[in-house]
């Protein structure tokens, strides 16, 4: 039996109402995810439901992993055959299994955003739409929006009321045609196609309806229409659907998430049991009050009670630093202090930020200080040129119809097949209504009409035949060959390494990336019984991160975006970049709705913290080449002063910034470093772990006390008026001569010498 006495009455009600629709609408830390995990454990162990009949859907990969591990902690009952995954993964599996029923090759590959964009660009060229006037991205997002509203081309046509929409419609049609020809799908298709498949094929629908007796959705506020409709279809037979969510934590509206789903749920399932939870078990009173002071300014919301029995705890710590490097140093010093002095574990701590770009400096400083860290998601490892090239070869092996991948590598490495030849080839393929690969095949087998063949001169023809032969060789690699071995063969056959060496300055780093890629492939084969290229590719399309480290067994610091942090919790949370333009982000500033979402995002961040929350801002931040002055985020103004304390105050920015820029640091920034969250990196970091408090400050040599006369490299002579311990460092206040004023510095950083 799973004991349910560690749940409060309301939670228990939600867990034990195993029949019929249930909606839990409750604030952060009130135990919504706990309800789902206990509910599953209860169904398995107490009700004897077969795990095969249970499905729990989440929104992000991180959340789904979190849920699996929480359930493992509760019960060991047959949880292997439980279905816990993201909507996209879930749909991908259904689609692959039933692909043939909708005339789709079950080896279909999933294209990424940049592939989508290049298809759109081609389509636009074909339709003679000027990409300068209508950016392809706009078309792409219109199509993507349509798909998440379950509008296929026909549905879209019915709605295409104005000029713009009819233009989009034309693009949409051709785009779909190309996808179908290539036997590929995009991410939105995973949902859309599954929906229409279930809708139109009653026997498939029945199969899944029968199977999924119990359906649960976490973070329901972030589902889009397509996801919700799929969930409705699947649960319509047993009607055991339990959704949990919090409108105040809706932060994915830009991805077409729609909180109206919550309202509709109440309407559609008029018999739904609606449960609200109002006790927060996660955060200290201070953190909770701070968070509420942020969210309560939103006009477009319904107030929810949220209280906690937890103690008041620590005040919210505000740090203000001069620039992003000092910010990183200060925070990581504090992290090390927490570990060495307050017995915190690195895994208790997370540093969060609005934009991925902010992780860069943190990483550098972590590496310098030997702090093991894990960077969640982000880094565009799979978007690097060399990796995309290899992926294109792999995709082509899995699915030769994939034109986009073929075009990508037809002349990479250079085979003297240029633009002209490629466009001729495409036009022939177009006329014959064949994929490029099939066209090549016809050409080689000399089956195409001579008047078409004429378009290619003899030189090109030879080169094309050479390329086709190469492809054939790759396709002949036996299916059971390990993926890493396939990659090795590709590299051999195409002489890819020689190509890199010849063409790029950073080729060593690119070669390292390739080695890393092979390692990832090798790990994958090791952990997956069936050595399936298709599954490998699918994983790469749907899971953004490369790590498969056991998350609980190792000690490292977490670096994560606010978005990905949703649903997670950490004893200690740092949020950096609390500046206007960052949070709230500049791009959200001219829309009230988006501004409210920024506020919610901030609220989500605050409420991740259990014990201690640190907020950090800088006076200046190097961003996109510029070096901008920042003003504090408006959200900081909303915090009641009595809840906060300011940890460090640096003097107003002055000329001394140059000293900052010249501070020596290791590891020059390079895009071409190895992937950020792999074992390699992890091992490197943990090997050099060293928690030396006095690393930066050597008190013996730098001993500076009140009354000392010093000389500062920029400001000249001055008198020390204050010395205060600050983390592992000291903050010293100096009164300078010659009316240069009073300024504060960090001892470890300031270029000063004792007179």
Partner DNA sequence: CAACCTTGCTTTTTT
Partner DNA sequence: AGCAAGGTTG
> CB of residue 695 vs DNA: minimum separation in angstroms?
27
User: Which residues does residue 743 pair with via DSSP β-bridges, in sequence order?
Assistant: 734
Kindly state the number of chain residues that form the binding site for DNA, as judged by CB under 7 A.
53
Contact window for ligand ATP (CB under 6 A) among 6-14, 146-154, 550-558, 680-688: 6-14
Q: Where are the beta strands (DSSP E) in 141-181?
A: none
Sign of CA dihedral 50, 51, 52, 56: positive
Question: 259-278 burial string, b = 16+ CB within 10 Å, else e?
Answer: bebbeebeeebeebeebebe
Q: State whether residue 477 is helix, strand or coil.
A: coil
- Nearest to DNA of 384, 612 (CB atom): 384
Q: How far is CA 306 from the centre of its chain?
A: 29
Which tokens belong to 88? 């996209």
Print the binding letters for residues 494-533 with DNA: x by CB under 7 A, - otherwise.
Answer: ---------x--x---------------------------
- Nearest to ligand ATP of 33, 85 (CB atom): 33
Query: CA 522 to CA 399: how far, in whole Å?
Result: 21
The answer to whether residues 431 and 452 touch, using CB atoms and an 8 Å cutoff, is yes
Considering the candidates 66, 188, 213, 219, report the single residue annotated as catalytic: 219
Does residue number 6 form part of the binding site for ligand ATP (CB under 6 A)?
Answer: yes
Reference 338, options 570, 88, 680; nearest CA is 570
544 contact choice in DNA, ligand ATP, none (CB below 5 to 8 Å, kind-dependent): DNA
By CB under 7 A, name the one of 62, 232, 620, 634 that touches DNA: 62
Q: State whether residue 276 is helix, strand or coil.
A: coil
By CB under 7 A, name the one of 233, 357, 719, 723 that touches DNA: 357
Which tokens belong to 626? 């510029």
357 contact choice in ligand ATP, DNA, none (CB below 5 to 8 Å, kind-dependent): DNA
- Nearest to ligand ATP of 246, 547 (CB atom): 246
Helix orientation angle between 187-200 and 225-235, rounded to the nearest 10 degrees = 30
- Nearest to DNA of 144, 684 (CB atom): 144
The answer to whether residues 350 and 569 touch, using CB atoms and an 8 Å cutoff, is no
Contact window for DNA (CB under 7 A) among 43-51, 58-66, 612-620, 720-728: 58-66
> CB of residue 8 vs ligand ATP: minimum separation in angstroms?
5
Which tokens belong to 583? 């949070």
501 contact choice in DNA, ligand ATP, none (CB below 5 to 8 Å, kind-dependent): none
> CB of residue 420 vs DNA: minimum separation in angstroms?
4
260 contact choice in ligand ATP, DNA, none (CB below 5 to 8 Å, kind-dependent): none
Residue nearest to ligand ATP (CB): 31
* 19-78 binders of ligand ATP (CB under 6 A): 26, 28-34
Print the binding letters for residues 280-319 with ligand ATP: x by CB under 6 A, - otherwise.
Answer: -xx-------------------------------------
> CB of residue 686 vs ligand ATP: minimum separation in angstroms?
27
CA end-to-end span of the chain: 73
Considering the candidates 75, 227, 249, 319, report the single residue annotated as catalytic: 249
By CB under 7 A, name the one of 97, 254, 268, 645 that touches DNA: 254
Q: What is the DSSP letter of 184?
A: E
Whether 32 sits among the annotated catalytic residues: the reply is yes
> CB of residue 727 vs DNA: minimum separation in angstroms?
28
Print the binding letters for residues 579-618 with ligand ATP: x by CB under 6 A, - otherwise.
Answer: ----------------------------x-----------
- Nearest to ligand ATP of 8, 118 (CB atom): 8
Does residue number 89 form part of the binding site for DNA (CB under 7 A)?
Answer: yes
* 125-164 binders of DNA (CB under 7 A): 137
* 549-578 binders of ligand ATP (CB under 6 A): 567, 569
**Helix, strand, coil content of the chain in percent (nearest 5):** 50, 15, 35
The CA-atom distances, in angstroms, between 144 and each of 231, 254, 337, 672 are: 20, 11, 47, 31
Query: CA 293 to CA 319: how far, in whole Å?
Result: 19
Which tokens belong to 638? 């909303």
The answer to whether residues 722 and 698 touch, using CB atoms and an 8 Å cutoff, is no
- Strand ranges of the sheet holding 54-58, from the earlier edge strand across to the other edge: 83-86, 54-58, 214-217, 241-245, 22-25, 273-275
**What is the DSSP secondary-structure string of 25-60?**
E--TTSSHHHHHHHHHHIIIIIS---GGGEEEEESS
Does residue number 672 form part of the binding site for DNA (CB under 7 A)?
Answer: yes
Considering the candidates 39, 96, 325, 608, report the single residue annotated as catalytic: 608
By CB under 6 A, name the one of 186, 213, 246, 538 that touches ligand ATP: 246
Considering the candidates 218, 229, 363, 545, report the single residue annotated as catalytic: 218
700-703-704 Cα angle (round to 5): 180
88 contact choice in DNA, ligand ATP, none (CB below 5 to 8 Å, kind-dependent): DNA
567 contact choice in ligand ATP, DNA, none (CB below 5 to 8 Å, kind-dependent): ligand ATP
612 contact choice in DNA, ligand ATP, none (CB below 5 to 8 Å, kind-dependent): none
Whether 608 sits among the annotated catalytic residues: the reply is yes
Omega of the bond leading into 413 within 30 degrees of 0 (cis): yes
Does residue number 587 form part of the binding site for DNA (CB under 7 A)?
Answer: yes
- For 238, phi then psi, to 5°, come to -85, -25
Q: State whether residue 650 is helix, strand or coil.
A: coil
Residues 6+ apart with CB under 8 A from 380: none
> CB of residue 670 vs DNA: minimum separation in angstroms?
6
Query: CA 530 to CA 112: how far, in whole Å?
Result: 24
Q: Where are the beta strands (DSSP E) in 310-371?
A: 316-321, 349-353
By CB under 7 A, name the one of 250, 405, 460, 633 that touches DNA: 460
- Residue spans of alpha helices (H) in 568-688: 592-606, 634-637, 657-662, 679-687
Q: Which residue has the tokens 């400096």?
A: 361
* 689-748 binders of DNA (CB under 7 A): none
> CB of residue 282 vs ligand ATP: minimum separation in angstroms?
4
687 contact choice in DNA, ligand ATP, none (CB below 5 to 8 Å, kind-dependent): none
Bridge-based pairing state of the strands 752-754 and 709-712: antiparallel
Print the binding letters for residues 556-575 with DNA: x by CB under 7 A, - otherwise.
Answer: -----x-xx-----------
> CB of residue 450 vs DNA: minimum separation in angstroms?
21
Does residue number 594 form part of the binding site for DNA (CB under 7 A)?
Answer: yes
Q: State whether residue 708 is helix, strand or coil.
A: coil
- What is the Cβ-side half-sphere exposure of residue 71, based on CA atoms within 13 angstroms? 29
Sign of CA dihedral 399, 403, 405, 411: positive
> CB of residue 277 vs ligand ATP: minimum separation in angstroms?
7
Whether 33 sits among the annotated catalytic residues: the reply is yes
Query: CA 257 to CA 60: how far, in whole Å?
Result: 13
- Nearest to DNA of 561, 607 (CB atom): 561
The answer to whether residues 331 and 351 touch, using CB atoms and an 8 Å cutoff, is yes
255 contact choice in DNA, ligand ATP, none (CB below 5 to 8 Å, kind-dependent): DNA
The answer to whether residues 27 and 61 touch, using CB atoms and an 8 Å cutoff, is no
Considering the candidates 33, 286, 404, 618, report the single residue annotated as catalytic: 33
- Nearest to ligand ATP of 9, 133 (CB atom): 9
> CB of residue 202 vs ligand ATP: minimum separation in angstroms?
36
| 294: exposed, middle or buried (Cβ count in 10 Å: 0-12, 13-18, 19+) | buried
Catalytic center residues: 32-33, 218-219, 249, 608
Binding site for DNA (CB under 7 A): 59-62, 86-89, 113, 121, 137, 187-188, 251-252, 254-255, 354-357, 377-378, 384-385, 411, 414-421, 460, 463, 503, 506, 542, 544, 561, 563-564, 585, 587-588, 594, 624-625, 669-672
Binding site for ligand ATP (CB under 6 A): 6-8, 11, 26, 28-34, 246, 249, 281-282, 567, 569, 607
């Amino acid at each position: 039996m799973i004991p349910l006495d560690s749940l409060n009455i309301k939670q228990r009600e939600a867990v034990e109402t195993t029949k019929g629709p249930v909606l839990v609408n409750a604030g952060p830390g009130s135990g919504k995810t706990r309800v789902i995990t206990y509910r599953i454990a209860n169904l398995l162990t107490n009700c004897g439901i077969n795990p095969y009949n249970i499905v729990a859907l989440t929104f992000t990969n991180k959340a789904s992993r979190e849920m699996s591990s929480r359930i493992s902690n509760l019960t060991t009952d047959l949880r292997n055959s439980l279905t816990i995954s993201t909507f996209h993964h879930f749909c991908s599996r259904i689609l692959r299994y039933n692909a043939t029923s909708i005339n789709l090759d079950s080896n279909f590959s999933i294209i990424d955003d940049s592939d989508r964009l290049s298809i759109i660009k081609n389509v636009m060229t074909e339709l003679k739409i000027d990409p300068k006037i209508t950016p392809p991205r706009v078309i792409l997002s219109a199509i993507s929006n349509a798909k998440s509203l379950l509008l296929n081309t026909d549905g879209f046509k019915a709605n295409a009321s104005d000029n713009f929409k009819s233009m989009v419609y034309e693009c949409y049609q051709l785009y779909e045609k190309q996808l179908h020809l290539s036997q590929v799908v995009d991410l939105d298709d995973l949902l859309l196609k599954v929906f229409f498949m279930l809708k139109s094929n009653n026997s498939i629908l029945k199969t899944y309806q029968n199977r999924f007796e119990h359906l649960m959705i976490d973070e329901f506020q972030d589902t889009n229409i397509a996801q919700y409709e799929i969930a409705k279809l699947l649960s319509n037979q047993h009607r055991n659907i339990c959704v949990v969510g919090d409108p105040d934590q809706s932060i994915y509206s830009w991805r077409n998430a729609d909180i109206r789903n919550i309202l509709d749920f109440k309407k559609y399932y008029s018999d739904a049991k609606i449960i609200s939870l109002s006790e927060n078990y996660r955060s200290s009173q201070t953190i909770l009050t701070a968070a509420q002071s942020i969210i309560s300014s939103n006009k477009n919301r319904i107030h929810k009670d949220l209280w906690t029995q937890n103690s008041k705890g620590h005040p919210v710590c505000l740090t203000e630093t001069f620039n992003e490097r000092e910010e990183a140093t200060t925070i990581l010093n504090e992290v090390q202090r927490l570990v060495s002095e307050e017995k915190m574990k690195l895994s208790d701590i997370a540093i969060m930020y609005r934009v991925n770009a902010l992780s860069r400096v943190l990483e550098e400083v972590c590496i310098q200080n030997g702090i093991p860290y894990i960077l969640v998601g982000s880094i565009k490892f799979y978007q690097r040129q060399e990796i995309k090239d290899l992926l294109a070869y792999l995709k082509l092996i899995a699915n030769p119809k994939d034109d986009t991948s073929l075009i990508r590598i037809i002349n990479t490495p250079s085979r003297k097949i240029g633009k002209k030849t490629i466009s001729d080839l495409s036009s022939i393929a177009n006329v014959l209504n064949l994929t490029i690969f099939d066209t090549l095949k016809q050409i080689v087998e000399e089956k195409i009409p001579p008047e078409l063949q004429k378009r290619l001169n003899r030189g090109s023809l030879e080169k094309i035949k050479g390329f086709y032969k190469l492809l054939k060789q790759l396709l002949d690699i036996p299916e059971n060959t390990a993926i890493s071995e396939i990659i090795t063969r590709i590299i051999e056959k195409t002489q890819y390494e020689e190509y890199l060496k010849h063409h790029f300055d950073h080729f060593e780093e690119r070669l390292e990336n390739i080695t890393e890629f092979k390692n990832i492939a090798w790990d994958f084969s090791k952990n997956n019984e069936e050595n399936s290229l298709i599954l490998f590719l699918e994983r790469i399309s749907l899971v953004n991160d490369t790590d498969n480290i056991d998350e609980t067994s190792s000690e490292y610091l977490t670096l994560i975006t606010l978005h990905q942090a949703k649903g997670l919790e950490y004893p200690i949370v740092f949020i950096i970049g609390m500046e206007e333009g960052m949070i709230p982000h500049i791009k959200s500033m001219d829309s009230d709705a988006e501004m409210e979402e920024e506020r919610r995002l901030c609220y989500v961040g605050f409420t991740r913290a259990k014990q201690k929350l640190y907020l950090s801002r800088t006076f200046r931040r190097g961003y996109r080449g510029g070096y901008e002055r920042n003003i504090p985020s408006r959200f900081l103004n909303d915090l009641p002063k009595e809840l906060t304390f300011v940890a460090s105050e640096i003097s107003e920015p002055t000329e001394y910034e140059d000293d900052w820029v010249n501070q020596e640091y290791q590891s020059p920034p390079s895009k071409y470093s190895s992937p950020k969250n792999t074992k390699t990196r992890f091992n490197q970091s943990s090997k050099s772990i060293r928690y030396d408090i006095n690393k930066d400050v050597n008190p013996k040599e730098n001993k500076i006390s009140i009354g000392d006369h010093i000389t500062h490299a920029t400001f000249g002579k001055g008198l020390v008026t204050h010395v205060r311990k600050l983390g592992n460092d000291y903050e010293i206040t100096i009164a300078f001569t010659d009316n240069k004023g009073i300024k504060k510095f960090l001892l470890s950083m300031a270029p000063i010498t004792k007179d």
